[in-house]
Structure 1
Amino acid sequence: MNTRTRSGTWRLTDRVRVSGGVVAAGVFGEGSPVVLTHGTPASAYLWREVVPVLARRHTVHVWDMLGFGDSRTDPGVAPSIVRQARTLAELVAHWGLDVPDLVGHDIGAGIVLRAHLVDKVPARRLALLDGAVIGPWNTPFTEHMQRHADAYRTMPPHVFADIIAPRLRTATHREMPDAVLDAYLAPWTGPEGQQRWVDQVTSVHFDDTRDVVDLLDRVTAPTLVLWGEHDQWLDPSTGDRLASAIPRAQREDVPAAGHFVAEDNPRDTADALLRFFGQQADGPDAG
């Protein structure tokens, strides 16, 4: 059983062996299935306030992507978008889901779309939150780290921590409490966490979603493009472009929210998802 304790501590207790490593996962609630996929540099912790709301009507499946949170890659496995999409497909099969609602945030949106369009994971509905899909979506910070990966790998861990902590604070519109920031940073602390951070940065590029972008006009599943209205990492105009590329996609902004939309404003994020999931279905789509 996976729980969010009364004190608010978030923990995923399931461990699922997949082809690229071991995934930390959790299942909450009862009802039609929803799968939540986070982005970088977050973990399933991003969804902790959204899950209880969705779980009143849905069975909510969450996971830490390979190399993120409590999930681990096997030696030599790069946590690329291609790998994560394949992992999502394996998890959907492991959970025995026929036609779930798929939700992806940041690169998680690109992963969800690739899993659906390339790996043929069926989807009843798609929700893309502040999605890194249409390039270029690498931030200048990420591009600098990719160009100078060796420098970031070899700098003292306390110096590395002093660099990434302020960066993470810019993911939200509202000030991030220290305890919350510490929870996001926990998987990236120490020498091992530093290497994991650089591993995921160097494994992901907007070129990885080019083939997905080429297939966007083939999406037939009802799609919601949801964006934090104050996103400093991916401007809301990026959401407009993404919605325009997907036939009949719905487009909404979440007020008082930055890039980590589910962190800034979990209530409005969850409510938007529930409204979308509850709309009259046009029929399942298997991609």
Structure 2
Amino acid sequence: MLTSAATSRPAPRWSRTVAVVTAVLALTTACTTSGGRAQHPAAPQASAVVAAGYDAATREDAEFNRQFRHETADVDGVKMHYVTGGAGEPLVLLHGWPQSWYSWREIMPALAEKHTVYALDLPGLGDSEGAPSSYDKATLARYVHRLLAGRLGLHRINLAGHDLGAGVAFQYATQFPDEVVRYAHLDYPMPGPALGANAYRQASWHMSFHSQDGFPELLVDDDVRDYLSLFYGYVAYGGTSFGGPGAKAPFTARQIDEYARTYQRPQVLTGGFALYRTLDQDERDNKAAKPITMPTMLLTAEGTLDFTRSTVRPLMPNITRAVEVPAAGHWLIRENPEFVTTELVTFFARGADR
């Protein structure tokens, strides 16, 4: 269980917190862009004990549970967890780091008015159990496909991915192009023909830090919640990652509790960092990929559209809608849910029109 950081941490753990902060500051100095320069504001503290289990965040949410249900399915030795509900054409949602299916929870009811929604925990992450054979995005896409097409019989889907989950979603679309009607790519510059993995890692200290073998786990494992709380603010609207003065995490204490609940599992923590350790393979796979031709929408943080579009354009020549989300940093869905919902509903309502 996850309890309040203010009440449950033994005193000796502060030495580990100091070690984390010291290492992060050193990496920031070495690897960050010129915009990363400010202090981290205080993060919200945990507000309540969070129960264990895949339905921990929704167990007492009667309204949500009337519309959605938690399911699991075994896929090549990985028990994949997903949440589904609604009616209409399938819409599959893939999360990024450090999040889970829960990143979509706020906008799922609106999406479910028009679609049967499937919000997945990626293999090895969230409340999925077991480790995939690799965390490169092409391999993860094949696990997702075996769940959707092989276990659930979904051979025509709409697809949306955020952050590193968008890397998985792109690989799904390029490997199974006849099965994806429309694709929404949310705030993920792509390693590939226009951006090498090494240059990608140098864009921010955290990409270099997370790519190190074993080192992030050693520093973070006892302070997962603290680390995530600081990181959420770093790439939020106004955060230092975007050259701003600094920002608080845009998530509530209970939302951070839920993400920390899953990433406190050692295998999930390592799996999350493995998403970064496989960027070189992602670059190779994306360079070899056939560009996707289905209608594609690109949503980015405010101020980052041109850069992100330059990295994905060689792989997505049919971008029919590209827009920055106003007053949003990296956490588009949380920071401006109304705007993102409207964009997704409008885009996917157009169906297979080409």
* Superposition TM-score, scaled by structure 1 size: 0.83
What corresponds to 2:257 in structure 1? 182
What corresponds to 1:103 in structure 2? 160
**After the TM superposition, which residues 57-68 of structure 1 pair with which residues of structure 2 at under 5 Å, given as runs?**
57-68=114-125
Secondary structure in 2 aligned to 1:187?
helix
User: 2: distance between equivalents of 1:238 and 1:210?
Assistant: 20
What corresponds to 1:208 in structure 2? 282
User: 1: distance between equivalents of 2:281 and 2:233?
Assistant: 27
Question: Aligned-pair RMSD on alpha carbons?
Answer: 2.9
Give the C-alpha shift of residue 196 in structure 1.
4.4
* Cα contact 2:85–2:118 (8 A) shared by 1: yes
| % identity of equivalent residues | 25
* Cα contact 1:118–1:212 (8 A) shared by 2: no
Task: Indicate whether 1:170 and 2:234 are aligned.
Answer: yes
Tell me: CA distance 1:77–1:194, structure 2 relative to 1, closer, same or farther (3 Å): same
- AA partner of residue 257 (structure 2): D
- AA partner of residue 309 (structure 2): D
Secondary structure in 2 aligned to 1:124?
strand
Give the C-alpha shift of residue 263 in structure 1.
1.5
Give the C-alpha shift of residue 119 in structure 1.
4.6
Could you tell me which of 303, 310, 318 is aligned with 1:248? Answer: 318
What corresponds to 2:297 in structure 1? 224
Count of residues in Structure 1 that have an aligned counterpart in Structure 2 = 274
User: 2: distance between equivalents of 1:247 and 1:29?
Assistant: 31
- AA partner of residue 155 (structure 2): D
Task: Indicate whether 1:36 and 2:117 are aligned.
Answer: no
Question: Whose radius of gyration is greater, 1 or 2?
Answer: 2
User: 2: distance between equivalents of 1:11 and 1:32?
Assistant: 16
- AA partner of residue 70 (structure 1): D
Secondary structure in 2 aligned to 1:40?
coil
Could you tell me which of 30, 33, 51 is aligned with 2:108? Answer: 51
What corresponds to 1:238 in structure 2? 307
Could you tell me which of 140, 143, 147 is aligned with 2:208? Answer: 143
- AA partner of residue 262 (structure 2): P
User: 1: distance between equivalents of 2:338 and 2:182?
Assistant: 20
* Cα contact 2:134–2:140 (8 A) shared by 1: no
What corresponds to 1:15 in structure 2? 72
Unmatched tracts of structure 2, length 5 or more: 1-54, 238-248
What corresponds to 1:277 in structure 2? 348
What corresponds to 1:80 in structure 2? 136
Tell me: CA distance 1:49–1:226, structure 2 relative to 1, closer, same or farther (3 Å): same
User: 2: distance between equivalents of 1:243 and 1:199?
Assistant: 22
- AA partner of residue 169 (structure 2): V
Higher mean alpha-carbon deviation, 249-258 vs 165-174, is at 165-174
User: 1: distance between equivalents of 2:265 and 2:78?
Assistant: 21
**1:197-246 residue CA offsets vs partner (Å, 9 max, x unmatched):** 444443x3154144335546x3220110111216xxxx433332146432
- AA partner of residue 64 (structure 1): D
Secondary structure in 2 aligned to 1:128?
strand
* Cα contact 2:123–2:129 (8 A) shared by 1: yes
* Superposition TM-score, scaled by structure 2 size: 0.68
Secondary structure in 1 aligned to 2:179?
coil
* Cα contact 1:261–1:269 (8 A) shared by 2: yes
- AA partner of residue 36 (structure 1): L
Secondary structure in 2 aligned to 1:125?
strand
Give the C-alpha shift of residue 191 in structure 1.
5.0
